Homo-oligomer: A and B are copies of this chain.
């Protein structure tokens, strides 16, 4: 006797405008690509696309790193892949914490058996390079510096070039979270000398969530290959993943790649290349200025000081006496507009307005300001 079969209607999602911290709006071209016929992960036609994907990702990351590919999992898996490969039990890691995602890095270091040295900065602020320098002075044996370039929980942008330069002076590798920055604001892996970086498909790349572009320098690969302890994760072990994504030649089966979402990412990256990455950065900057002007007219105050703000993630304080959840519910239900809630210490106190990728348009900026003005009665 089997269970009675459940009966549900086909799921027809509402059409939203996604101006939260991601996912951002996915263009029709990307959605259409996702619906193309599935083929095998070892099909030569698919493997040709994989090579193009790697080239397109190198462009997005501005790197020549041969080991540049999309991990078959969300950004959190990309993050964990960096840590489980580059941190061995007992390794000292300097971790910068200025928001939720720095905290998650710390958690990863601990679970790998690493010895974290935490550089703490206030939420809403960039990582202070002087503190990082001081941490290396006190712990010159630290082998890795980990920091978040674009803190999605606060909208603060750190000076990745300065941080990576300090790490190199002390002979340490750098792990950088660029989940929210990639495609929206300059991410220059090679120019900055970053050794490992992970991002997400659903932010400024405007693909569906679930893929995590990563890139590793040769120095990082050498570190992995010189490990004494095996990587604790089978799925994330770069030594194994390399057989599938690494070479240009014959590929070894490792796991079944998520075929259709990869079609989507290929198309999303083609769109980025068509626009030109510098134009994409300029668009995010320009429309951030427009949004900022409008938010200030509505009397809304930014969380992050101007010089440290990410254009694509605008964190503003919920005004005194205003019910956070009620406002977001009205925006969603009456305007089909999603903005983000605050995370962690900012829950209930902060809104996060994303201007990411395909959602970063003048029309959306106007629409969001109009909707917010109406709901707040400040129109």
Contact = CB atoms under 8 A, between A and B. Distances in A.
A166 interface: no
B38 A18 contact: yes
27 contacts: A2-B278, A5-B59, A5-B273, A6-B59, A11-B263, A13-B38, A13-B263, A14-B43, A14-B45, A26-B38, A26-B260, A31-B260, A32-B35, A34-B34, A34-B35, A34-B260, A39-B338, A42-B341, A72-B73, A74-B255, A74-B257, A76-B235, A200-B256, A210-B260, A210-B261, A211-B258, A258-B261
B20 A40 contact: yes
B338 A43 contact: yes
A39 B13 contact: yes
Contacts of A33: 10-11
A209 B46 CA distance: 13
Given A13-B45, A15-B37, 17 more contacts: A2-B276, A6-B52, A6-B55, A11-B49, A14-B39, A18-B38, A38-B202, A43-B338, A80-B233, A110-B230, A111-B230, A202-B259, A208-B261, A210-B257, A232-B233, A253-B343, A258-B261
A227 interface: no
A341 B13 CA distance: 39
A10 B104 CA distance: 36
A182 interface: no
B26 A13 contact: no
A277 B5 contact: yes
Nearest to A105: B234
Residue in A14, A42, A209, A259 with the greatest tally of chain B CB atoms within 10 Å: A209
Residue in A11, A13, A38, A49 with the greatest tally of chain B CB atoms within 10 Å: A38
B232 A232 contact: yes
A222 interface: no
Interface in A74-111: 74-77, 80, 104, 107-108, 110-111
A13 B14 CA distance: 29
A230 B254 CA distance: 27
B209 A257 contact: yes
A213 to B, nearest CB: 14
Contacts of A62: 2-3
Given A38-B23, A80-B233, A343-B253, A209 B259 contact: yes
B104 A234 contact: yes
Contacts of A77: 72-73, 77, 235, 255
A66 interface: no
Given A34-B34, A234-B108, A273-B5, A258 B39 contact: no
A270 interface: yes
Contacts of A25: 38
A338 B40 contact: yes
Contact of A52 (B11, B58, B341): B11
Contacts of A266: 8, 11
A36 interface: yes
A267 interface: yes
